[in-house]
Amino acid sequence: MLERYARDLATLAARGRLRALAPRVGLDFASNDYLALAESPELAAAMSAALARGIPVGAGGSRLLRGNHPEHEALEEDAARFFGAESALYFSAGFTANEALLSTAPQREDLILYDALAHASAHEGMRLARAQNAKFPHNDVSAADEAIRAWREKGGRGKAWIVVESLYSMDGDKAPLDDLFALATKNDAFLLIDEAHATGVYGPGGRGLAASFEGNDNVITLHTCGKAMGVAGGLLCLPRVLRDFMINRCRPFIFATAPSPVLAACVRAALKIIEAGDDRRAELISRIDFAGAELRRLCALESSGSQIQPIIVGSDVRATYLASRMQARGYDIRAIRPPTVPDGSARLRIALTLNTSKEEVARMIAHLGEELARLEP
């Protein structure tokens, strides 16, 4: 009965793609806790205060039953005001929020046009969607424009939905948001911007790279709460009519137990922390710049320009070997392999956070340069 699953795992192992859970060991160069809030005394105090106020740990039901707590609604009001949107809707995870939006809002006659490097959550949402979908080459706005034109010429009559990330999670590069917004406006299209890795780090008050576009009727943003915000969940910021549509039509929202009210209270606290977190952001940007200079000096590698630095080595086996060598030196660095990234682009994904000092960054990059020099072609 279980043989086919065992065969599949054996195939993954033979290709160097078998995954397993591993403990957190060594200096943090793997997490998305960019501002070091996840274990901060500020969020610990917010959790304690919420519990002391009698905020429940569990919601006890879906939002449409008894699970709708005042903390959920207060968070959504705070988030809409903070990010500059008309309204917001809180989900238990960013993955769920992205999947829920794309599986619900685009209609049968619509087209979902997505960047080739869009997150797996977007793909899952598109798989469940009624609308057709098509991809365009990474960050190629002209190709996206041509795809919409070709769809219209073939009789496409609905709305186009352009799906991108503002900062890509595996390459660390940024989307051309000005051009994408102009494209969406020209084509009367929706623009869905996943701000997962930009929220808290970029934009005025940490509002993200799409801050200047928030509040437009054709713009929807996703702000995840488990990365720079240090908590958990995902916030969709969107026009109020779409929020109401999601509440009435979105199965992942209607039939799921509501997120923890205590976590909602902690996210509210995190919003205040990141708004006042210019010093944290400045320190992180300083480390990004420093790491970029060290990568050029010691590894002959160009920086991504963000807190996400890929070290692309090609084969799965090379990536896992290099990760193991860096782990042995005391750094929590993980290998990323297909299907998370395209075939032939297995890599280390190095994340820069405030959990490590500039001295530790320097030491890690020096050791990385030594290991890359030893790596067999």
- Identify the structural domains of the chain with CATH numbers, from first to last: 24-37+277-374 (3.90.1150.10), 55-275 (3.40.640.10)
Concerning whether 212 is annotated as a catalytic residue, the answer is no
Concerning whether 169 is annotated as a catalytic residue, the answer is yes
Q: Name the stretches of the chain with pLDDT < 50.
A: none
Query: Residue 283: what pLDDT?
Result: 98
| Residue among 92, 139, 169, 216 flagged as catalytic | 169
| Residue among 78, 165, 171, 332 flagged as catalytic | 165
Concerning whether 359 is annotated as a catalytic residue, the answer is no
| Residue among 69, 119, 174, 223 flagged as catalytic | 119
Concerning whether 165 is annotated as a catalytic residue, the answer is yes
This prediction has a pTM of 0.95
Query: Residue 15: what pLDDT?
Result: 85
Concerning whether 171 is annotated as a catalytic residue, the answer is no
| Residue among 103, 197, 294, 332 flagged as catalytic | 197
Cis peptide before 338 (omega within 30 of 0): no
Concerning whether 138 is annotated as a catalytic residue, the answer is no
Closest residue by Cα to residue 50 from 264, 325, 334, 304 = 264
| Residue among 115, 121, 227, 306 flagged as catalytic | 227
Concerning whether 178 is annotated as a catalytic residue, the answer is no
| Residue among 28, 32, 98, 214 flagged as catalytic | 32
Give dist(CA 235, CA 214) in Å, integer. 13
Give the tens place of pLDDT for each residue, 257-292.
999 999 999 999 999 999 999 999 999 999 999 999
Give the tens place of pLDDT for each residue, 315-330.
999 999 999 999 999 9
